[in-house]
Amino acid sequence: MSCEISIDKFEGPLDLLLHLIRKEEMDIYEIEIAQITRQYLDFIDAMQSLNLDIAGEYLVMAATLLQIKSRMLLPVHEEEILEEEELDPRAELIRRLLEYQRYKDAALTFASLPQLDRDIFLATPLVADVNEEEGPELEPVSLYALVEAFRDLLKKAPKDFVHEVTAEHLSVTERIQTILNRLQERPQLPFSDLLPMPLVRSEVVVLFLAMLELVKMSLIKIYQNQRCNEIWLSPAVVEADGLSAISEDSFGYA
């Protein structure tokens, strides 16, 4: 009869076990491991006979069940009792099952919470042009957000399909100068404004490196508006003459 159960119905071995225990009306603290293991293995056999892939985790759980069963068969030595708090080999499994049930329950609660764009809706304002003077609301960016923004940019830049390989000299120093010059014109600058249109992959990379170098040298600060992932550059207060010392080689990008 357990063959009627489809594996899709379960979110994993813990879910399946919960189902089996409940079906047998067992007390969770007194799981009859032998019986449950048999049913569990029957279930897996049934799935295999239907040529369905059994995910590895189902097999791991089968092994765990068998291990618990065998530990329950072994006599317990007295010194082990002193060493191990847990006498019942089933204890960890029981804890996991109850814990899993908590989250399963909470998932149900969440499913019924009002959700945005399903039950609750917002007035969706047009994405307003960012006020040049004030700039958008900025927050400090985390490394991961920065990497994500970079990836987004790379996605937009078409991959270059080049047959003839020509040595193209892309100078980070030059881009650093460009960025600094642009920042003298405007106190805040979105990274995308620096990019040539249409986007060129290598340009994006070199500009990004130049930006990171500037941050490293504490010449600029970068911020990000979380929502649209734009990176904003603004100058850091620093004396400008440190720049003359920069040479291409010092970055090691040559």
Interface pick for other proteins out of 28, 130, 180, 205 (rule CB under 8 A): 28
> Nearer Cβ to other proteins, position 77 or 118?
118
Q: 251 by DSSP, 3-state: which?
A: helix
DSSP track, 57-114:
HHHHHHHHHHHHHHHHHSPPPHHHHHH-S---TTHHHHHHHHHHHHHHHHHHHHHHS-
Question: Considering the rule CB under 8 A, would residue 15 count as an interface residue with other proteins?
Answer: yes
- Ranges within 120-149 binding other proteins (CB under 8 A): 120-125, 127-128, 144
Furthest-apart CA pair in the chain: how many Å?
Answer: 82
Own/partner pairs, 216-221, CB within 8 angstroms, 24+ separation:
217/242, 217/246, 219/180, 219/243, 220/179, 220/180, 220/183
Residue 166 CB burial class (10 angstroms; 0-12, 13-18, ≥19): exposed
Interface pick for other proteins out of 1, 63, 111, 167 (rule CB under 8 A): 111
Cβ of residue 250: shortest distance to other proteins, in angstroms?
A: 29
- Ranges within 154-213 binding other proteins (CB under 8 A): none
Question: Considering the rule CB under 8 A, would residue 63 count as an interface residue with other proteins?
Answer: no
Cβ of residue 120: shortest distance to other proteins, in angstroms?
A: 5
Cβ of residue 130: shortest distance to other proteins, in angstroms?
A: 12
Residue type, 144: Y
> Nearer Cβ to other proteins, position 82 or 113?
113
Residue ranges binding other proteins (CB under 8 A): 8-9, 11-15, 18-19, 21-22, 27-29, 55-57, 61, 96, 98-125, 127-128, 144, 226-227
